[in-house]
Amino acid sequence: MNSSVTGRNEVGRSEVGRIEVITGPMFSGKSEELIRRLKRARIARQRVVCFKPDIDLRYHRTAIASHSAQTHEAMTVANVARLREALYEQLPEVEVIGIDEAQFFDESIVHLVGELVHMGKRILIAGLDTTFTGDPFGPIPALMAISDEVTKLSAVCIVCGAPAIHTQRLGASRELVVVGAAGVYEARCRACFRPYLNAPENEQMELPDALDLSVTP
Ligand SMILES: [Zn+2]
């Protein structure tokens, strides 16, 4: 193969990059799917690197881990600038770039991913599409917009068993980012999701059933 030292496209070369976003709520198997794709790329003898933000201290600092205990080596980086530095050192050799928990990076990740795909890289991005209040999460919506393919996974609603698109926060933590898994968050479907269950400002917070349209006489 053409061994350009820059890894950049040159006139006449037909390296075409690709952006794939794997998204959905917690417990939907995003990391597992990312790991599966990275493993396949490795089996195909492609050079793979994977990054994740510093915030995820859930399991290992040097691996991504799915809730089902699959792991894959990943470099922990503090922010997008550090990710860029770490990546550009090895960029010519790298063909596939995985980014896990991408919702915790700032918007500058969108520009970086745009650069990388222009160089012919395949970028696999996993991250939550919405926060525990049900709002779009960080750069994920923009990454979905510029991607070639979005895989939106669902989990299983803990309350009713329907496909779940939401991440429900349990307990009353005020932390914007509580890192953890079972016990703090659970998957909920749209009907069972209670985004304001633990709003810190007041004690209330279970909204009257949002979908209860019954009229009291
Ligand atoms: Zn439900």
Q: Which residue range forms the structural domain that includes residue 111?
A: 18-153
List beta partners, residue 136. Answer: 130
The answer as to whether 1 is a domain residue is no
3-state helix, strand, coil in the chain (%, to 5): 20, 25, 55
Measured in Å, residue 156 CA sits from the centre of ligand 1 at 8
* Dihedral angle sign, alpha carbons of residues 139, 135, 51, 40: negative
The environment of the single-atom ion ligand 1, i.e. residues with CB closer than 5 A, is 157, 159-160, 162, 189, 192
| CATH number of the domain residue 67 falls in | 3.40.50.300
The answer as to whether 5 is a domain residue is no
> Please, what's the b/e burial string for 73-99 (b: 16 or more CB within 10 A of its CB; e: otherwise)?
ebbbbeebeebbeebeeebeebbbbbb
**pLDDT of 5 higher than 80:** no
Which residue numbers are catalytic? 101
Min mean pLDDT across 97-101, 160-164, 200-204 is at 200-204
Q: How far is CA 120 from the centre of its chain?
A: 21
pTM of the model: 0.78
The answer as to whether 166 is a domain residue is no
Looking at the structure of the chain, the number of domains it has is 1
How many residues are recorded in the chain?
A: 217
**pLDDT of 31 higher than 80:** yes
* Dihedral angle sign, alpha carbons of residues 175, 179, 185, 189: positive
The answer as to whether 202 is a domain residue is no
Residue 120 structure tokens = 């012919």
Using one digit for the tens of pLDDT, what is the confidence trace for 51-83? 999 875 554 555 566 665 556 689 999 999 999
The answer as to whether 59 is a domain residue is yes
Measured in Å, residue 166 CA sits from the centre of ligand 1 at 10
Angle at 50 between CA 47 and CA 52, to 5 degrees: 170
Burial of residue 162, with CB atoms counted within 10 A of its CB: 0-12 exposed, 13-18 middle, 19 or more buried: middle
Measured in Å, residue 95 CA sits from the centre of ligand 1 at 40
The answer as to whether 6 is a domain residue is no
The answer as to whether 78 is a domain residue is yes
Q: Are strands 185-188 and 166-169 parallel, antiparallel or unpaired?
A: antiparallel
The answer as to whether 181 is a domain residue is no
Measured in Å, residue 173 CA sits from the centre of ligand 1 at 23
* Contact call for residues 12 and 2 (beta carbons, < 8 A): no
Measured in Å, residue 161 CA sits from the centre of ligand 1 at 6
Using one digit for the tens of pLDDT, what is the confidence trace for 148-161? 999 999 999 999 99
